[in-house]
Amino acid sequence: MDLLPGLDLRCNRLPAPLPQWHGQVDAPSWQTAARAVRERGGRLVSLWGSPEAVHGAYRLPEGLLWLTLPLDPAARCCPDLSPVFPAAARMQRAMTDLQDIGITGATDSRPWIDHGTWAGHSPAGEYPFVRVTGDGVHEIPVGPVHAGIIEPGHFRFSVVGEKILRLETRLGYTHKGIARRFRELPPLEAHRLAGRVSGDSTVAYAWAYCMALESAASCTVPQRAQWLRALLLERERIANHLGDLGALGNDAGFAFGLAQFSRLRENLLRLSQQLFEHRLLMDGVVPGGVAHDLAMEGQDALLAQCTMLSGEVAELQEIYEGHAGLQDRFIGTGRVPPPLAARLGLTGLAGRASGMANDLRCDVACPPYDRLTVRIATHRNGDVAARVAVRFDEIFESLRLTRTLLDTLPSGPHRVPVPMPEQPALGAGSVEGWRGEVFVALALAPQEGQAVLRDCHCHDPSWHNWPVLEHAVMGNIVPDFPLINKSFNLSYSGHDL
Amino acid sequence: MNTGLLSQLLEVLLALWLAPLLTGWVNQWRAWLQNKSAPSLLQPYRKLHKLFHKEPVLAEHASPFYRMAPYLVFGAMALACAIIPSLSTDLPLSPAADAIALVGLFALARVFLSLAAMDVGTAFGTLGARRDMLIGFLAEPALLMVLFCASLLSQSTSLTTIVDQFAHRQFAIHPSLALAGVAFILVSLAENARIPVDNPATHLELTMVHEALLLEYSGRHLALLEWAASLKLFAYACAGLALFFPWGVADARSPEVLLLALPVLMGKLAVSGALLALLESVSAKMRIFRVPEFLASAFLLAVMGMLINILLGA
């Protein structure tokens, strides 16, 4: 299929419930392909390196395009894509740190994930933050150890008085070598590791991994398993949105909101523990289906909980929207106008709050979403209030989807064995997690008669949104940063890998 | 004189003893109003006990001033509690400081604490000190105006005289005092780092005001500062109650009322603590640049109270 007209690109379609293609390019057409994607209105999904190649995944209207650029062993470098897709800059810096791949023409060659503490790497010295100079400008360093119990990340603010002129984030503190660990695991067990890349998106990661594995193995999961996977994903979305809405209230000093939303979230988690044997639904999605089937009583309990949640969340939404003090903090804070969001490639929930109407559940829906006609929640203001509104809308939509999924739950097996391929095979999977598109790409290769994971890459939507956060806080005041940060609620672990 | 000494001693000891209890009481109500099970009423005492037994850790380049500040702040707050006629107006210490000196005492503590926070040179200390000064320089004039309102009515700036007069005259609602009362509540919220001006329960370094000042303190220094914060809240609550609800306060003429004054004060504090928690629970924290508007309204209300007093004599 000719996905990028004007380019002599041959692509093979990968077997998967979503349309996705894989193709190979050479160094000169690496940038041309990226430009062609941009011109066609496509987005960059992920960029990563493996020992012998550089990979890029793009989202086109037709589906996912995975391009591989084999590396010249002598030079090991690839052209810079950040002029086309700004989000590529940090992914390329990570590629240089992790795979020693040089980026020709890169404007920012500072290390990113490598903090100079790995064995065999030279100590990096002090990280060269971009300095802002001028009358009365000073810096506030925050983190990586914070006063609250949150993930580690360093934020360097350049401020005048209370006004933020520039924020620079420094991540990589939770790097734990996930990619290497994948290579040590049997493919049929590695979904557990995928589910732990970022704990709050465990269902999305496990599903994306399983989708990739099943795509490499050309295996189709039974309908009941698809439905149950979607059910788990929607529950994960609701749980995270409830937690965030409470935390957003609390960060604005409205502790009542936190208490109420935490109570609702706790109810949800307890029922998950009861029905799926894990509060956060870890290890619920497994290759070939789901780990736990759902009995009739379980369905009734889920339906009852949906009814309870719709009522209570609607009531809390009224309180949030009618609270002058809270709205004063939310409205206009941390604004990302739609043109900026489009230029920088804001994705996922934060993107939808800035007019980027992308949601995998409706754009290229995999079963069962193709039968559900998901109503996408968007907003154009791009401020904290918009991100709150999108969260409320998505909770109601997820509750509706849960009800429909339960009403139409097909019968049959909930899990089938996945036969491992005997030839080298590629697989990719994309799932719309609560934060945005989670993408997993893997390569299987036979070794001593058994299929092993030669390479597995997990991509978190936070990669795209961390740089936009730096733009969102510009011109805001320092005490509003926690609120803006929470409204994005990006992953550190999923980013640092 | 002997009863005077007794009531003075009783007042100081009572303030030191009751102040953490008031903090615990407010926290308990805050939890109840959020449908949460509340921590014990004695939690603040346990915290103080724990902190007093911990080793204080000092920054390497902290000056002696940094170590001195907690004692100075604590001393200022204890003295403030001593000159506010919460139980009795027969206080030997009261001629030492009048209403204006009381405001000065609070300002002194604030200056010391802010300087100490800047002394160690961390970004958060300086940030907190700057914000605290912003709040302070707007809150103090408003507080002065509130006290002047009361002074105009009683023709004296001595706190004991004001309360004595208010407690022993016929019940009448003064519009000027009502306005001053509202202004006083606004100032108290700001001065005691309560929502909507500051959030005493926050863990977000970047939004802190009062907590940012204490961020580098530990051990007994932190205990003293926490205790001083409780004393400040207690002092403000007692000052408000003495000025606007002075009934039940004992005086030199009838020292036996002292026996009754204590339960009355506890009752009044309990109600005001619960109301404070209610006020905090229904509000969100405002943007820091809304604080000047908030305190300007307090100032305006107090000035309006004074004008009503001067123009209408009410």
Q: What is the pLDDT of residues A235-254, one digit of tens each?
A: 999 999 999 999 999 999 89
| DSSP helix, strand, coil percent of chain B (3-state; round to 5) | 75, 0, 25
b/e code B182-191 from CB counts within 10 Å (16+ = b):
bbbbbbbbbb
Containing domain of residue B64, as a range? 2-312
DSSP run (H or E) holding B238: helix B219-244
**B34 CA: distance to closest CA in chain A (Å):** 5
Tell me the backbone φ, ψ of residue A400, rounded to 5 degrees. -65, -45
Q: What is the pLDDT of residue A1?
A: 61
**Residue A295: other Cβ atoms inside 10 A:** 10
Whether the CB of B204 is below 8 Å from some CB of chain A: the reply is yes
Query: Cα angle at A146 between A142 and A148, to 5 degrees?
Result: 140
Whether the CB of B286 is below 8 Å from some CB of chain A: the reply is yes
- Return the closest-CA partner of residue A445 out of A191, A217, A195, A190: A217
Q: What is the pLDDT of residue A346?
A: 92
Comma-separated ranges of CATH 1.10.645.10 domains in chain A: 178-496
Give me the total of CB pairs closer than 8 Å, taking one residue from chain A and one from chain B.
Answer: 80
Q: What is the pLDDT of residue A405?
A: 93
Whether the CB of B14 is below 8 Å from some CB of chain A: the reply is no
CA distances from B25 to A250, B30, B39, B150, B265 (A): 21, 9, 9, 29, 14
Q: Tell me which residue has tokens 């940012």.
A: B212
- Residues of chain B with Cβ-Cβ distance to A161 below 8 Å are 130
Whether the CB of A400 is below 8 Å from some CB of chain B: the reply is no
Chain A, nearest residue to B125 by Cα: A140
- Return the closest-CA partner of residue A345 out of A167, A473, A468: A468
Q: What is the pLDDT of residue A366?
A: 85
Contact A253 B284 (CB under 8 A): yes
CB-closest option in A140, A253, A481 to B196: A253
- Return the closest-CA partner of residue A472 out of A339, A328, A378, A333: A333
Contact A325 B283 (CB under 8 A): yes
Q: What is the pLDDT of residue B314?
A: 60
What is A11-104's CATH number, 3.20.20.10, 1.10.10.60, 3.30.460.80, 3.40.190.10?
A: 3.30.460.80
Contact A253 B215 (CB under 8 A): no
CB-closest option in A138, A161, A477 to B287: A477
Contact B203 A147 (CB under 8 A): yes
- Residues of chain A with Cβ-Cβ distance to B283 below 8 Å are 253-254, 325
Whether the CB of A246 is below 8 Å from some CB of chain B: the reply is no
- Residues of chain B with Cβ-Cβ distance to A383 below 8 Å are none
Contact B285 A253 (CB under 8 A): yes
Question: Domain tally for chain B?
Answer: 1
Pairing between strand A450-459 and A53-60?
A: unpaired
Longest CA–CA span in chain A (Å) reads: 70
Q: What does the pLDDT look like over B214-249, one tens digit per residue?
A: 988 999 999 999 999 999 999 999 999 999 988 888
- Residues of chain A with Cβ-Cβ distance to B190 below 8 Å are none
Q: What is the pLDDT of residue A3?
A: 76
- Residues of chain A with Cβ-Cβ distance to B288 below 8 Å are 162, 477, 479
Whether the CB of B133 is below 8 Å from some CB of chain A: the reply is no
Whether the CB of A140 is below 8 Å from some CB of chain B: the reply is yes
Pairing between strand A450-459 and A425-432?
A: unpaired
- Residues of chain B with Cβ-Cβ distance to A325 below 8 Å are 196, 283-286
- Residues of chain B with Cβ-Cβ distance to A258 below 8 Å are 34
Residues of chain A below pLDDT 70:
1, 124
Whether the CB of A245 is below 8 Å from some CB of chain B: the reply is no
Q: Which two tokens stand for residue B132?
A: 């605290």
Q: How many CA atoms lie within 13 A of B176 on its CB side?
A: 21
pTM: 0.91
C-alpha A418/C-alpha B86 separation (Å) is 78
- Residues of chain B with Cβ-Cβ distance to A477 below 8 Å are 287-289
**A355 CA: distance to closest CA in chain B (Å):** 27
CB-closest option in A253, A325, A480 to B199: A253
CATH of domain A178-496: 1.10.645.10
- Residues of chain B with Cβ-Cβ distance to A481 below 8 Å are 206
Whether the CB of B154 is below 8 Å from some CB of chain A: the reply is no
- Return the closest-CA partner of residue B237 out of B17, B87, B31, B22: B22
Contact B205 A477 (CB under 8 A): no
Give the E-state strand segments of A227-385 in sequence order. 285-286, 289-290
Q: What is the pLDDT of residue B225?
A: 95
Whether the CB of B215 is below 8 Å from some CB of chain A: the reply is yes
> Residues 162 to 221 of A: which have CB under 8 A from any B CB?
162
Q: What is the pLDDT of residue A246?
A: 95
A325 sits in the region (left: phi over 0; alpha: psi -120 to 50; else beta) called alpha
CB-closest option in B34, B130, B289 to A256: B34
Contact A479 B36 (CB under 8 A): no
**B194 CA: distance to closest CA in chain A (Å):** 10
Residues of chain B below pLDDT 70:
1, 314
- Return the closest-CA partner of residue A64 out of A21, A23, A34: A21
